[in-house]
């Protein structure tokens, strides 16, 4: 699979930057230690993945 066909799930700025650097779209679920990080450039920022269905993830990915 190419990076354009994938999603990365991260919780920190460093993880986000690593994912973006290889061309991945990113869903971020910040935690208590990373909630203040700059998450510019992400597909979505979610408090957690509860309620995020595969169909919803596909829709966000395709809309980007």
**Domains of the chain and CATH, by start:** 3-63 (3.40.50.1000)
pLDDT at 24 over 90: yes
pLDDT band at 64 (very low <50, low <70, confident <90, very high): confident
Give SS3 for 26: strand
**Predicted local confidence at residue 54, as pLDDT:** 93
**Predicted local confidence at residue 19, as pLDDT:** 95
pLDDT band at 51 (very low <50, low <70, confident <90, very high): confident
Task: Beginning with the edge strand found earlier in the chain, give each strand of the sheet holding 44-45 in spatial order.
Answer: 7-10, 25-28, 44-45
At a CB cut-off of 8 Å and minimum separation 6, what does 23 contact? 2, 3, 4
At a CB cut-off of 8 Å and minimum separation 6, what does 57 contact? 7, 27
**How far apart (Å, rounded) are the C-alpha atoms in residues 22 and 24?**
6
pLDDT band at 28 (very low <50, low <70, confident <90, very high): very high
Average pLDDT over residues 28-49: 92
């Amino acid at each position: 699979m190419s990076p354009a066909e994938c999603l990365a799930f991260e919780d920190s700025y460093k993880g986000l930057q690593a994912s973006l650097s290889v061309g991945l779209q990113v869903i971020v679920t910040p935690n208590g230690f990373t909630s203040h990080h700059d998450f510019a450039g992400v597909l979505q920022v979610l408090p957690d993945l509860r309620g995020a269905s595969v169909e919803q993830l596909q829709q966000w990915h395709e809309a980007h």
